[in-house]
Structure 1
Amino acid sequence: MRFFLLFSMVAIYSNAQVANDSIANTRYFEDQFYIGLSYNFILNPTEGSSQRNLSYGLQAGVIKDIPLNRSGTKAIGIGAGLALNSYYSNLVANLSDNVISYSIDDDITRSKLETHLLEFPLEFRWRNSTIDEYKFWRIYGGIKAAYIVGARSKFDSEEISEGFKNTDLAKFQYGLTLSFGYNTFNLHAYYALTELFNGDASVNGEVLQYKPLRIGLIFYIL
């Protein structure tokens, strides 16, 4: 009798282990790395200001994929990465006696504001993938926080070319993100909820309230 009970317990335990292993084996993780390229729009421009040239953005990082269901079609993504964003316009930044001032100049050759950021994306992820299927539809939406670790303003004219470290920007940035697509190529959008400048910067008496909108492609890599 004791032998029968012991045998039954071992059998039940073994079956439970097999079931747990089967469930564990169905869990899989997607999209551990990302690389993105975007065009940067400037929202809320001041009167007389306009974009010029190609305002571009680059981003790359790693994301921890955390499945929320057994099939893996729903997940949370938590990550960290680096980004470089440039904004070309007719807004010129000038540094004099450690004070930064701004003006609108349509005669310059080029004026650029460049930012370098640490980014921390948080995504809710839906995809129709399986453990064996690597081509699938995805929709990822969420929020991305970022910290500006460095920024530089530069302008070029026929006579001079000047550049300096710009400290007028709001260090902490965050906004909404959305990515959707199939397989390798995916459309990506970022809408800033914070202003680019710190609130003290102004031009012609008008406070700079620029907000970035980035639209481009993002590539997810296992």
Structure 2
Amino acid sequence: MNLLQNQFREKLFLSVLLLLPFFSAFAQEEIQTKPEIQEIKVDSLYREDQFYFGFNYNTLQQKPAGVKQQKFSIGISGGFLRDMPINKTRTKAFATGLGVSYNNYNQNIGITGTAQDAVYTVLDSDLDFDKNNFKQLLIDVPIEFRWRTSTYESYKFWRIYGGMKFSYLAYSKSVLKVNQGKTVITNNADFNKFLYGLYLSAGYNTLNVYAYYGLNPIFKSAEVDGQKIDMKALSVGVIFYIL
């Protein structure tokens, strides 16, 4: 009886040894297969939610007679956009989000007086002034339509994004510095609190060119030498999208 039991144990032991490689290979195949299935399921429903950062050159359009821009006027913007695909291949989408813009305009309109009663003068080009500009800090809400050649397998693709940007003026500051002194005005009541305009960006991968044109004037109620100041913003530059 003991002899039969020993033989049975030996056969069982040998059978387990022979089956171990099979179970090991099966387990490895299961481990390798599951992540691939999960990755396809998640990535095929990707969204191009993105942080963006832009650097622009600002110009003023529809300037009153005698008004000129001085030096280099810069603009910096940044924010986040939420992507909402509208087709099966996810190459078309709408997007909206929230951002912040800082715009600086160097020009020769001297602003004096107070925030509630500002006075505007076209400065003589021969006048010795050290500094003259106005700056704006804006809260932006962009709404855009997107076309791109993206796939769930690659983050490098061609894109064309365009739409409208609505902005709220959170802070403004004008500085005029001449030999006789310095005038600083914050939150000038003559500036438009709400601005809106069209924009377009296009490019490949992270780097893209960008252009924005304001549809309403920067000033809502201001005159210089009897002319209403109807200047609008035109900005061109580059914009970076980061996932």
* Aligned: 1:66 with 2:66: no
SS at match of 1:37: strand
Cα RMSD over matched residues?
1.6
Distance apart, 1:109 and its partner CA: 2.2
Q: Which residue pairs with 1:40 in the alignment? A: 58
Q: Which residue pairs with 1:153 in the alignment? A: 174
Is the CA contact (8 Å cut-off) linking 1:75 and 1:124 kept in structure 2? yes
Q: 2: distance between equivalents of 1:171 and 1:121? A: 16
Call closer, same or farther: CA 1:211–1:102 in 2, change over 3 Å: same
Q: Which residue pairs with 2:21 in the alignment? A: none
Call closer, same or farther: CA 1:104–1:122 in 2, change over 3 Å: same
Please list every run of 5 or more consecutive structure 1 residues that lacks an aligned counterpart in the other structure: 1-20
* Aligned: 1:94 with 2:112: yes
Structure number with greater Rg is 2
Q: 1: distance between equivalents of 2:117 and 2:143? A: 37
Is the CA contact (8 Å cut-off) linking 1:123 and 1:140 kept in structure 2? yes
Is the CA contact (8 Å cut-off) linking 2:115 and 2:185 kept in structure 1? no
Q: Which residue pairs with 2:10 in the alignment? A: none
SS at match of 1:132: coil
For normalisation by structure 2, the TM-score amounts to: 0.79
Q: Which residue pairs with 2:150 in the alignment? A: 129
Is the CA contact (8 Å cut-off) linking 1:125 and 1:139 kept in structure 2? yes
Q: Which residue pairs with 2:122 in the alignment? A: 104
* Aligned: 1:57 with 2:79: no
Letter in 1 for 2:202: F
Residues 171-207 of structure 1, C-alpha deviations (whole Å, 9 max, x = no match) = 1100001000111110001011010001x20000000
Q: Which residue pairs with 1:172 in the alignment? A: 194
Distance apart, 1:96 and its partner CA: 4.8
* Aligned: 1:215 with 2:233: no
Q: Which residue pairs with 1:4 in the alignment? A: none
Structure with the higher fraction of residues in helix conformation? 2
Q: Which residue pairs with 2:163 in the alignment? A: 142
Displaced runs of 4 or more, over 3 A: 21-25
Is the CA contact (8 Å cut-off) linking 1:186 and 1:219 kept in structure 2? yes
Q: 2: distance between equivalents of 1:65 and 1:24? A: 16
Count the aligned residue pairs.
201
Q: Which residue pairs with 2:135 in the alignment? A: 114
Identity over aligned residues, as a percent?
A: 38
SS at match of 1:214: strand
Is the CA contact (8 Å cut-off) linking 1:89 and 1:110 kept in structure 2? no
Is the CA contact (8 Å cut-off) linking 1:139 and 1:178 kept in structure 2? yes
Letter in 1 for 2:102: L
For normalisation by structure 1, the TM-score amounts to: 0.86
Match of 2:205 among 183, 200, 220: 183
